[in-house]
Structures are given as structure tokens and as C-alpha cells.
Amino acid sequence: MTEQNFENVFNYNREEKTPKILIAALDTGEYDVERSVAELKELIKTAGGETVAEVVQKRQTPDSATCIGSGRLEEIKRLVEDFEVDAIVFDLELTATQIRNVEDATDVEVIDRTMLILDIFAQRATTHEGSIQVEIARYRYLLPRLAGMRKNLSRTGGAVGMRGGPGETKLELDRRYIRSRIDSLSRELKDIAARRDLMRKRRKKDGILTAAIVGYTNVGKSTLMNALTEAGVLVENKLFATLETTSRSILLPDGRSVMLTDTVGLISRLPHHLVEAFKSTLEEAASADVILHVCDSSSDDIAEQTKVTEELLSELGCDGIPVITVLNKSDISEWSEGLLPENAVLISAKEGRGLDELLKKLSEALPETARRMKLRLPFSEAGLLAKIRAEGGVFSEEYTAEGIEVDALVDIKLIHSAEKYAVQ
């Protein structure tokens, strides 16, 4: 049993030509199918495919055998032939039996929404942590479907180098391998998460302020990160262009520094396997002092995207953390300052518009750990100046007849002592 055996389950047409994809969706009334299919088209495009046909079936529950029902399946078979379709992508999660039955009927590969997202994540993961997270999610998805998705599973095992004696089925060996691999990867990921948690605690202990950038995928989080920090994060007009977190320190207008962290993008009906796998990464938001919730102000789906993000933040335990709503892409939207909700700022990360106002709001939302002050210190308070320099920072100082004129970042512990020397 090798890891490559499982990789093949998730890979569809990888030839040089663009794969032709048929979308099949089920409208049960639980969510907006039209919006979901539009999003699925973007996912297919991101994965390198082209949508050539769509079939939507209205029914209260999925058909246990084919999901879509026998009538629609006949229609799908005709469309597969007419458009020379390479693969069918269902806009919901399928059982192994449903996948096998539709594949047998159409003679093309069948992929469900979760498989497609997992495939995209596998393409985009570049760091060791990201690769582990994706691999765990893929194996957890595959495990309950193994019997229906693999052929020739009834042959006996007992191969050299594998546990299990004669009579143990190939299916049992496959399951044993996957469970063992998940356990091994989970331990490794737990170690990485523990180191990340240690770094968070160290930042807190050292008084380092943190802000997490969260939001739907493709709303401009990476563009904003680059605009504020020149971080050099990959920016593409694709879903899930980046999966890895990036942290950079930026200087605020009040003289304080804040550690800004980008997080993985979200999507509606994000597979539970992925939420679990990327939880250690997403928890950067739960430990932040302020959350920057980036939204695409030009999107018609902004309300739904905002809801998805807010629900996940609540699930991660972010309630109580100050949130600044960042309405991005103002260069292509019709939003105006007069329409802004409370504690929101309108920006264009691409054009650098509104960033000063964003940094101002960020400064105001962060807990007061220091204050920028202009002081006129008597010469006898040289000791206080030394403490201010050591605990905070001095931007400028000038010795005059009246005393020492100072523009400084004063640590919160010293504000009371410094206030009597404050000047306008």
C-alpha cells in the first residue's frame, strides 16, 4: 500500500488540454443553489477545468443510488457524449456508492465538491504544515468511502512488509494503513501546533500586539497584506491562491507595532475535514487582539460571505475580540462612506486607498499598551526619560531652555508619571 494509490483517487484529467466539466447539483432548499453553482464554477476554474454544462435537479433528498435520480442521470449521459465531458463534478458530498454508480452509467470520472476542494488545496499547499493538513483531510474523507471507491478489494493480503496474515482483506489493510498514516500525521501536526501556540504565548508575554486578517477566499486578503507590509505574498484572481499563514510587523500611526497575520480563505460549506485540519492555522484569529474581517465590497454575495466568516469565527471562540470590517475593492464597487456599517472602513488594497484610515481604526481598536505623547520634561526628570526610552521609544528629543522637548511612545506603566509633563 503506498500513498500514491490514494493520490490517484483525487486526480482527474491532467493532460495538457483543459478538462471539460459537467456540473450536477441538487436543489433541496437548504441553500442557494444558483450561488453555490457559481462558486463551484470558480473552484473548477481554479483547479484548471472548464465548465461546459450544468444539470440541476429539484428534490427533497438525494437519491441513495445516484444522488441525482435516474431521469436526470439519463440527461447527464447525453450531455457527457454531446460535450465530450471529461469529468462530472457534483455540488455536494457523495457516498462511494453514488460515485461508483454514476461513473458506471456515464463512463467518466465523478468528483464531488469536497474532493474538488481537497484537490485544489493539495495543489496550493507549499509548506510542510500545509501539506500535512491537506493530507490528513484527504485521508479522513477517503476512509469511510474506501470500500466503494476502490476495485479488487476482496483479494487477500499478507504481502511482505505489511501487517496482517493470510486471509486479511486488501480493504482491511488499506484501512489499517490510512488510520496509521492519519495518526502519524496528526502527531506531527500536533507538534507543529504546539510550537505555534508557544510562539503565541511568547508574543503575549512580550507584549506584542497581534491582528489577524480573515475573510472569504479571493476577497483580497493577500493583496491587503502586501499593501500594508510588502510581504510578497502570492496574489492571484483564484480561489485559495494561498493556504499558508504569513506574519509581518507593521508600524501604526501612534508609534506602536502590531504583528499582522494572514489566514487561509474561507468558503461556503467548507468541508468539515478541512476546517479540522486547518484549525491550528485558523486559531491565529482566536488569539489575536483585533480581527480584520476583509470583505469584497463589489460582490453580490457579500452578505452570505460575511455570514460564513462570522459563523466560523464564532466556532473558533473569537467572540469578544474587536472586529474591524474591511470593505475591500472600493475601486470596482459602488459603496460610499455614507453607507458604511459601524466600525467599518472602505479601502482598495490594490490602489492603496483608505489604508491610512484602516491603520487609524486598528490603532484605536487595539488595547492601550502605550501612548504617543509630546512632553516637556524638566532636566531633573532625565531618569523618567531613560525609562521611557527603555520601555517604549523616543522619536525625537530637543534640549531647550525650558527643558527636554520629547516626542515619545510612552509605555502604559509610565503614562501616569508622564501626563503632568504633556504638551499639546
CA 32 – CA 123 distance, rounded (Å): 28
Longest CA–CA separation in the chain, Å: 96
pLDDT at 357: 95
- pLDDT tens for residues 255-293? 888 999 887 777 777 776 667 766 666 777 888 899 999
Q: Give which of 183, 155, 146 is closest to 9, Cα–Cα.
A: 146
Count of C-beta atoms within a 10 Å radius of residue 141: 21
CB burial of 338-368 (b: ≥16 within 10 Å; e: otherwise) equals eeeeeebbbbbbbeebbbeebbebbbebbee
Strands 393-399 and 404-411: antiparallel
Give the pLDDT band of residue 51 (cuts 50, 70, 90): very high
Give the pLDDT band of residue 134 (cuts 50, 70, 90): confident
Count of C-beta atoms within a 10 Å radius of residue 192: 16
Give the lowest-confidence range in 2-6, 298-302, 365-369.
2-6
Task: State whether the Cα torsion 44-41-91-332 is positive or negative.
Answer: positive
The residue-averaged pLDDT of 332-360 equals 88
Task: State whether the Cα torsion 246-248-253-256 is positive or negative.
Answer: positive
CA 333 – CA 66 distance, rounded (Å): 42
pLDDT at 158: 33
The three-state secondary structure class of 39 is helix
- pLDDT tens for residues 136-170? 888 888 888 876 665 433 333 333 233 344 445 67
- pLDDT tens for residues 388-412? 998 888 999 999 999 999 999 988 8
User: What percentage of the chain reaches a pLDDT higher than 90?
Assistant: 41
Contact 304, 267 (CB under 8 A): no
pLDDT at 10: 39
Q: Cell numbers of 191, please?
A: 507538534
Q: Give which of 368, 379, 361, 380 is closest to 414, Cα–Cα.
A: 368
Among 6-10, 52-56, 248-252, 339-343, name the most confident range.
Answer: 52-56
Cα-based distances in Å from 263 to 28, 41, 43, 377 = 32, 23, 19, 44
Residue 89's H or E segment, with its range, is strand 87-90
Amino acid in position 71:
G
- pLDDT tens for residues 193-202? 788 778 877 8
Q: Give which of 123, 130, 243, 136 is closest to 185, Cα–Cα.
A: 136
The residue that leads in pLDDT, 228 or 159, is 228
Please report where in the chains the cell 490528513 appears, as a residue: 136
- The residue ranges of DSSP E strands in 217-369, in sequence order, are 246-251, 257-262, 290-296, 323-328, 344-346
**Over 70: is that where the pLDDT of 422 sits?**
yes
Contact 406, 382 (CB under 8 A): no
Contact 407, 395 (CB under 8 A): yes
- What is the reported pTM? 0.71
